[in-house]
Structure 1
Amino acid sequence: MAASDRSALLLARLLATTGTAHFVAPRPFDAIVPRVLPGEPRTWTYVSGAVELALAAGIALPRTRRASALLAAGFFTAVLPANVKMARDWHDRPAPLRKAAYARLPLQAPLVLWALKVSRDNRP
């Protein structure tokens, strides 16, 4: 298997795992939904989980990999406000939790770059 295929499948696995977690343990995700979004946080948790599962499936399939990876890059950018909210809300948590919340912020950039690379590696 080519390195580009392994990278794509690893990204798909990450998205599938996270997407599944939105349904199995939704409460932590509910807590980071920005308050400015209309409706109930649980709805947004389920929608974002479903999007992650759909992106995972699209990236896993070579035929839809390029487009799905581009969409994943957009998705990773779109969820950044949730990570900012988490970091702000967790300012008074114990140091390890606070550090984990802050560590999520710069991790978005590598995820976006990874998705873009998967898309570039799968040009027609």
Structure 2
Amino acid sequence: MKSLSPLGLAAFLAGAGMTHFLRPRPYDAIVPSRLPGKPRTWTYVSGLAELGCAVAVATPRTRRAGALATAGLFVGVFPANVKMAYDWRHRPLPHRAAAYGRLPLQAPLVAWALAVARDAGRR
């Protein structure tokens, strides 16, 4: 099962990255306003980053670096999840639950990426 962990992480990243291009609007809405430029640019840049990390994690030669970059990416997008939770604080309960639920999910995602990096370093 451990051998599937990097491929699972790569698939997760690839799927998330593709949604930035297929359905960019929800991502545009959670880009923190303090970032310079247009939200759509950040949506596309973060989607490309996820796709790049997916390729790096899927490739054994670059897996460790890709997994470390992925952990950094998961930490880097956390402010967008905080913004979403704040912006959705007055929405109906199911929406609030989804927005608030994203916050604690970042920790296991970071842990997953770090575990993949650790395992890749052992080989």
TM-score by length of structure 1 reads 0.97
CA distance in 1, matches of 2:2, 2:59: 13
Structure 2 Cα separation of the partners of residues 19 and 122 of structure 1:
23
1:92-124: CA deviations, max 9, x gaps? 111001000000000000000000000000114
**1:4 Cα deviation after fit:** 2.6
Number of residues of Structure 1 aligned to a counterpart in Structure 2: 122
- Identical pairs, percent: 62
**SS in structure 2 opposite 1:36?**
coil
Q: Which residue does 1:55 correspond to in 2?
A: 53
Aligned to 1:92: 90
Matches of 1:49 and 1:5 in 2, distance apart?
25
Alignment of 1:9-28 (within 5 A): 9-28=7-26
CA distance in 2, matches of 1:5, 1:18: 21
Residues 43-71 of structure 1, C-alpha deviations (whole Å, 9 max, x = no match): 00000000000000000011100010001
Match of 2:108 in 1: 110
> For the residues of structure 1 that align with 2:44 and 2:17, how far apart are their CA atoms?
9
State whether structure 2 residue 87 is matched by structure 1 residue 67.
no
Partner of 1:5: 3
| Letter matched to residue 6 of structure 1 | L
The one-letter code of the counterpart of 1:111 is: L
Equivalent position SS for 1:64: helix
- Displacement over 4 Å in runs of 4+: none
TM-align CA RMSD: 0.6
1:12 offset after TM fit, Å? 0.3
Gaps of 5+ in 2: none
